[in-house]
Amino acid sequence: MSPTTTPQRSDTPSTSAYAAVDAGTPRFARLRGSLQQLLAAASLIVIVVFFSFASSHFFTANNLISILTAATVTGILALGTTFVIITGGIDLSIGTVMVLCGVMAGVFLTYWGWPLWAGVAATIVFGGLIGLINGVNVSVLGIPPFIATLGMMLIAAGLSLVISGTKPIYFNETPEFQSIMNLSIIPGMRFPLGVLIFIVMIVIAAVLLSKTIVGRYTFSIGSNEAATALSGVNVRRWKIIIYTMAGLFVGLAGVLSASRLSSAQPTGGMGLELEAIAAVVIGGTSLQGGKGSIVGTVIGALIMAVLTNGLRIISVPQEWQSVAVGVVILVAVYLDMLRRRRAG
Amino acid sequence: MSAEASGTPPLLEVEGVSKGFPGVQALDDVRLDLRHGEVLALVGENGAGKSTLMKLLAGIYTPDAGVFRMNGRDLLLDGPRHAQEQGISIIHQEFNLMPDLTVAQNIFIGREERGAGIFLDDRALNRRAQDLFDRLGLALDPAEPVERLTVARQQMVEIAKALSFDAKVLIMDEPTAALNDAEVDVLFELIRRFRSPETGVIYISHRMEELARISDRITVLRDGRYIDTLVTAETDQRTVISLMVGRQLAGDDRPTGSAPAGEPVLSVRGLSTKRLLRDVSFDVHAGEILGFAGLMGAGRTEVARAIVGADRRDSGVISVRGREVQIQSPADAARLGIGYLSEDRKQLGVLLERSVRENIVLASLKDYLGALGFVRDRRIETTGREYVQKLRIKTPSTAQLVRNLSGGNQQKVVIAKWLAKDCDVLIFDEPTRGIDVGAKEEIYGLLRDLAGQGKAIVMISSELPEVLRLADRIAVMAEGRLTAVLDNAAATQENVMDYATRFSAEGTITR
């Protein structure tokens, strides 16, 4: 916000007094905003090229599809949480809520015998409901997002165990359930339906963020919440909407992850939220709010998936994979800070 | 321009407006009238009630008493948006912009162009913004993100936003604070364009020479009261300043302002910072109080922060007892015996949730460590009790949480903290802000006593009478420069105010 350039005065007599402040900002400055995305995209390419040379098993259609498949669940979580993070908030509950949604899918379909479509829809709505509760806690009760969603994270983890009786729920009544993620949609290739759903969600999220009123207020709240409220925008209501929306994404991720395993596993999920947040942050979305993009988040999710996959292919032990991902996060965020400091 | 046709009610009328906050009567029976087509300047010292009045007009506060009328009709101002819709737009000193959004998105936030359903039509939005800019003659790019704009252009966005509401009354709070001369010209041209038989401008500024250029009349507030309204063409700076200052000077107990003797304890030479300060030099001697006067934003607090290393210095030499010292952080300063008592007591001065004694020894905790680094509680208690008695801090015990103390007593705790640290130089930033009158007297006595004990004291205050009453010498600042250092005997409210409004030729603080 500090003045980075002083307006230049034109030497020639100008037609209006306004020419004094007419010098403006150089056009190329606008490109700077997309630099982080370019940087992230470039890193993704570098990593892909590196692994392609390191192993002949890496750059094959099948392996690339399995990377996409691996990125699907975390990616969808990351898409929804991108909105929350751009508002300057955070959602730590997405991992365990996703697991709880999977369990609820089991309840709807197996325990209660609902038809497939109803069970799936109910699961997604359930995710939205949890998001709604998060949103109310944050914006009406005024609980800081970190705490509100930390509480929800533990509640969801516990409820999954309580509801399932700590045992996995299998989808015996609706065997087609596993097709949602796994159905092969391209003959001769194992391109799963789940990946297509991921791609569709990317498009939806990108449109929502850049072309709709939801996206506009997401940025506006994260950029200057007080000023947004002073401008007559109902910030509380929009925050609830944004958390609810993120919850719907979590519900869908819950469906896909249960479908992938053909069962609802009541444990786990903890830590997944951090992977999703890492993808968002690597993609250049600022935890301070106001800045971010869906493209960035997708690239971030892909970088994480490619790293995990590639390191496994070149036989790096699993312990080291986590180390590598950690280093990538630090480097990505540090580069972003450098860029901002220079720009600021 | 100023003559209102007889019988026509003024554009905006404020009558009998009062507003109180706990402990302060910010506005008391204030009136004001803005005529059609005029620029009315609103002036007053810090704390005169200008911003409170603005916030009332903006619908941010509701008045305790009084009425607002527009064209003779009563106005109810229910919230900022509501005030805007009734034609009152305000440009605040600190901008209310969303830096990550574009110019057009900022201007029409909450009033977006919608396509189908939830979809936005940013092309239409940009066109709408462009139309607005064409009408106002502004050279702004609707699609440019606001964070890339200079401060001057951000202000243009604020003005465009205000005018997009079809404002009848435009209120500007210190609009030129961050502008250079050319930009000020642009701003004035905009104001002239905006002015019409249906509209009017209330212009708040400290800069006397601007008022002469742009305003038709000047309304003076002092201590939350209406003082007078003058026709700009028929008055001069002296008259306005004396009305602003007004008060009788407090008693005869003003310090004699004896010339300081001996080597200075603290001496500052050529202190500059990137943002504000330009070549500030002064000395403080043992046993004296050096007061810093100046308007808001003149750089007094910045001087203190730069000395103790809380902010980065660009250049400048600081010496303690004649020896040049390197101060990189407040910790360095404290080691050298320089204590800074921040104006923001609650944020930066005390730990509200900790006890009185813990706060007192906080800066000197190292002296209270026993073997193995354990804290020696009994000695802390002794020291705590000593200062509670010495400074007459009203607290049931030294274990009381500082939160539960009154403002004056909290301030005493901060003072005790630096005394316990054995500081020779104490820099007080607004030592009496937010404390009631009785406690103020006690703090004054305390500062005098400390000086009497040979401490060198720097006191920054926005209350000029306070500075005149306490300080042996008075340093006056304007726009980051030291414009005068006066002996108390030579200082009057008028000449201090005069030095405080001596703005440099360029008139700006932007690099």
Same domain, B127 and B270: no
Q: What is the mean pLDDT of chain A?
A: 87
CB contact under 8 Å between A213 and B118, yes or no, is yes
pLDDT at A19: 37
Count A/B contacts: CB-CB distance under 8 Å: 119
Alpha-carbon torsion (B355, B357, B361, B365), positive or negative: negative
pLDDT given at position A34: 59
Helix/strand/coil for A341: helix
Residues in chain A, overall count: 344
Tokens of A144: 């800081």
Question: Which of A5, A7, A232 is opposite residue B81, by nearest beta carbon?
Answer: A232
pLDDT of B425: 92
Rounded mean pLDDT, B14-19: 92
Contact residues on chain B for A25, CB-CB shorter than 8 A: 144, 148-149
Looking at the structure, tell me whether residues B330 and B462 fall in a common domain: yes
Least confident window among A212-226, B147-161, B334-348: B334-348
B409 or B208, which is more confident: B409
In a domain? residue B254: no
B137 touches chain A (CB under 8 A): yes
Q: What percent of chain A has pLDDT over 90?
A: 67
Q: Write down the pLDDT at residue A36.
A: 62
Q: How many domains is chain B built from?
A: 4
The answer to whether residues A105 and A254 touch, using CB atoms and an 8 Å cutoff, is yes
- What value does the CA radius of gyration of chain B take, rounded to a whole number of Å? 26
- Three-state DSSP class for B458? strand
Q: CA B223, B226, B232, B234 torsion: positive or negative?
A: negative
Window from A282-286, B295-299, B457-461 with minimum mean pLDDT: B295-299
Report which listed range, A176-185, B250-259, B409-418, is most confident.
A176-185
- Give the model's pLDDT for residue B257: 55
Task: Provide the CATH number for the domain around residue A281.
Answer: 1.10.3470
User: B346 in a domain, yes or no?
Assistant: no
Higher pLDDT among residues A152 and B86, named by residue: A152
CB atoms B99 and A224 under 8 Å:
yes
- Ranges A117-126, B147-156, B230-239, B255-264, most confident: A117-126
B304, part of any domain: yes
- What's the pLDDT tens digit per position in A42-71? 889 999 999 999 999 999 999 999 999 999
**A284 vs B408: CA distance, rounded Å:** 47
Give the per-residue pLDDT at B362: 85
Same domain, B51 and B123: no
In the predicted structure, residue A163 carries a pLDDT above the cut 70: yes
In this structure, how many other beta carbons lie within 10 angstroms of the beta carbon of residue A271? 10
The per-residue pLDDT for range B475-495, each reduced to its tens digit, is 999 888 999 998 888 888 888
Average pLDDT on A82-105 reads: 96
Q: What pLDDT was estimated at residue B112?
A: 86
Q: Are A171 and A263 in contact, with CB atoms under 8 Å apart?
A: yes
The per-residue pLDDT for range A273-294, each reduced to its tens digit, is 999 999 999 888 888 889 899 9
For residues A123-128, average pLDDT: 98
Nearest by CB to A231, from B100, B109, B145: name it. B109
Sheet hosting strand B24-34, strand order edge to edge = B24-34, B12-21, B65-70, B73-75
pLDDT mean across residues, chain B: 84
B360 in a domain, yes or no?
yes
CA angle B298, B300, B304 (to 5 degrees): 150
Dist CA B479 CA B500 (whole Å): 9
Q: Which of B427, B350, B455 is nearest to B393 (CA)?
A: B350
Q: Is A213 on the interface with B (CB under 8 A)?
A: yes
Confidence label for A212 from pLDDT (cuts 50, 70 and 90):
very high
In degrees, rounded to 5, the angle at the alpha carbon of residue A153 between the alpha carbons of residues A148 and A154 is: 105
pLDDT of residue A343: 53
What would the mean pLDDT of A17-34 be, rounded to a whole number? 43
Which of B97, B120, B183 faces A213 most closely, judged by CB atoms? B120
As a whole number of angstroms, the longest Cα–Cα distance in chain B is 85
Residue B3 has pLDDT above 50, yes or no: no
**Same domain, residue pair B211 and B324:** no
Residues B347, A232: Cα–Cα separation, whole Å? 30
Residues B159 and B175 in one domain: no
Give chain A's domain count. Answer: 1
Distance CA B452, CA A219 (A): 57
DSSP tag of A193: H
My answer on whether B14 and B70 are in the same domain is: yes
Same domain, B233 and B112: no
B192 at interface of A, judged by CB pairs closer than 8 A: no
Percent of chain B with pLDDT over 70: 91
Q: Please compute the mean of the pLDDT values over residues B306-312 and round it to a whole number.
A: 89
Chain A interface includes B145 (CB < 8 A): yes
**Which residue among B376, B393, B420 closes a domain?**
B420
Inside any domain, residue A226:
yes
Q: Check CB contact of B510 with chain A, cutoff 8 Å.
A: yes
Give the closest of B120, B183, B511 to A212, CB-based: B120
Task: Indicate whether B37 and B161 sit together in one domain.
Answer: no
Question: Does residue A249 lie in a domain region?
Answer: yes
Q: Which of B216, B246, B276 is the last residue in one of the domains?
A: B246
Do B366 and B408 lie in one domain? The reply is yes
Residue A233 sits at the chain B interface (C-beta within 8 Å) = yes
- Pairwise CB contact (< 8 Å): B182 & A223: no
User: How much of chain B exceeds pLDDT 90, in percent?
Assistant: 26
B183 to A214: CB separation less than 8 angstroms, yes or no: no
Nearest to A306 by CA among A63, A123, A30, A67: A67
**Which CATH number characterizes residue B449's domain?**
3.40.50.300
Q: What is the 8-class DSSP label of residue A6?
A: P
Half-sphere exposure of B25 (CA within 13 A, CB side): 10
Residue B464 has pLDDT above 90, yes or no: no
Chain-chain contact of B178 with A214 (C-beta, under 8 angstroms) = no
Distance CA A310, CA A51 (A): 6
**Cβ A25–B99 below 8 Å, yes or no?**
no
CA distance A293 to A282: 11
Residue A55 domain-assigned (yes or no): yes
Interface test with A, best of B105, B119, B149 (most A CBs within 10 A): B149
- State the residue range of the domain holding B176: 1-87+167-246
Residue B80 distance to chain A (closest CA, Å): 6
Report the side by side order of strands in the sheet with B425-429: B338-341, B425-429, B456-460, B289-294, B473-478, B481-487
Mean pLDDT, residues A100-109: 96
- Looking at the fold, whether B432 and B306 belong to one and the same domain comes out as yes
Q: pLDDT tens across B50-86, in order? A: 888 988 998 888 899 999 999 988 988 888 788 888 8
Q: Which residue has the tokens 């020894």?
A: B361
Q: Which of B101, B151, B182 shows the shortest C-beta gap to A223?
A: B101
Cβ–Cβ of A6/B150 closer than 8 Å? Answer: yes
Confidence of residue A227 (pLDDT cuts 50, 70, 90): confident
pLDDT at B39: 94
Residue at A72 is within a domain: yes
> Domain for residue A213, yes or no?
yes
Least reliable range by pLDDT among A144-158, A200-214, B181-195 = B181-195
Q: Which residues of B touch A212 (CB under 8 A)?
A: 118-120
Q: Are residues B481 and B368 in the same domain?
A: no
Distance from CA of B223 to the nearest CA of A (A): 28
Domain containing residue A286: 34-343
